[in-house]
């Protein structure tokens, strides 16, 4: 075996990169929906909902993503539910995202002053109307930089999906390296490709943060 790195290898890596993006987007979209639910439960008035969601967040945050992935892929396989690798990875990452995003967003919602709730509810708005029209627009401003920052974490975490055989960028690099035995070159290129995805997101997150801080200074 062996041989030199050709354009075909690069195309294969780029295809893997595309699947990394697809998996990240899937995880982030599903995770956002579930995370929004977690945030609602964490800030609910019903104590039981708060407690259930608290335990959920603690368990997921205290468990390696790899273990969640194994449970979903191999664990469900044992009981007869065979998920394709993309779905297994997507579900695992969704669970992971929901716990972290739920917690990030809870903090943002709670950082909106309590007096905003009082003013809105004093005007006879319902709790839901208050949340949608008054609290969330203010919380979203605060939430944007950390949310984009977390997206970078998600993108890198998708590399774990390689262990269940999903051919994303990391798995693609392993496949290429298994035929070429040039790990420095192949994984180096994979690293550069990851960086090319993450760096713009990091920059974006930081510029959002700066804009937000400027806004705060002016408001004060």
Partner 1 sequence: MSAVVKLHDIHKSFGSVEVLKGVSFEIDKGEVVAIIGRSGSGKSTALRCINRLETIQSGTLEVCGHRIDHADLDLRALRQDVGMVFQSYNLFPHLTVEENITLAPRRVKKLPTRDARALALSSLERVGLAEKIDAYPEQLSGGQQQRVAIARSLAMQPKVMLFDEVTSALDPQLTGEVLRVMEILAQGGMTMAVVTHEMAFARRVADRVIFMHQGRVWETGPGAMLDDPQTPELRAFLANGL
Choose between 67 and 123: whose C-beta lies nearer to partner 1. Answer: 123
Give the nearer residue to partner 1 in terms of CB position, either 41 or 136. 136
Task: State yes or no: residue 138 binds partner 1 (CB under 8 A).
Answer: yes
Please tell me whether residue 118 binds partner 1 under the rule CB under 8 A.
yes
CB 65 within 8 A of CB 92: yes
Residue in 116, 179, 207, 213 binding partner 1, rule: CB under 8 A: 116
| Residue 215 CB, nearest approach to partner 1 (Å) | 9
Q: Which is nearer to partner 1, 141 or 156 (CB)?
A: 141
Reported for 134-140, long-range contacts at CB under 8 A and 24+ positions apart, including other chains, are: 135/109, 136/109, 138/112, 139/105, 139/108, 139/109, 139/111, 139/112, 140/108
Residue 123 interacts with partner 1 (CB under 8 A)?
yes
Backbone φ and ψ for 191, nearest 5 degrees, come out as: -60, -45
Q: Which residues, in sequence order, are CB contacts of 142 under 8 Å at separation 6+?
A: 108, 111, 112, 212
Closest approach of Cβ 208 to partner 1, in Å?
Answer: 16
Among 141, 180, 187, 208, which residue interacts with partner 1 (rule: CB under 8 A)? 141
């Amino acid at each position: 075996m062996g041989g030199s790195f050709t354009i075909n290898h690069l195309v294969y890596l780029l295809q893997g990169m595309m699947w990394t993006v697809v998996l990240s987007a899937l995880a982030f979209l599903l995770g956002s929906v579930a995370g929004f639910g977690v945030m609602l439960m964490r800030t609910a008035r019903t104590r039981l909902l708060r407690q259930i969601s608290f335990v959920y967040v603690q368990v997921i945050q205290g468990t390696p993503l790899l273990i969640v992935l194994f449970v979903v892929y191999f664990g469900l396989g044992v009981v007869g539910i065979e998920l394709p690798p993309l779905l297994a990875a997507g579900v695992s990452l969704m669970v992971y995202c929901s716990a972290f995003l739920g917690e990030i967003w809870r903090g943002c919602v709670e950082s909106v002053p309590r007096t905003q709730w009082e003013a809105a509810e004093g005007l006879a708005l319902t709790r839901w109307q208050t949340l949608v029209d008054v609290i969330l627009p203010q919380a979203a401003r605060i939430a944007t930089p950390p949310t984009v920052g977390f997206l970078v974490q998600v993108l890198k975490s998708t590399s774990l999906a390689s262990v269940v055989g999903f051919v994303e960028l990391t798995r693609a690099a392993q496949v290429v390296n298994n035929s070429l035995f040039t790990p420095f070159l192949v994984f180096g290129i994979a690293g550069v490709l990851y960086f090319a995805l993450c760096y713009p997101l990091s920059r974006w997150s930081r510029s959002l943060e700066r804009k937000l801080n400027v806004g705060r200074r002016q408001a004060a």
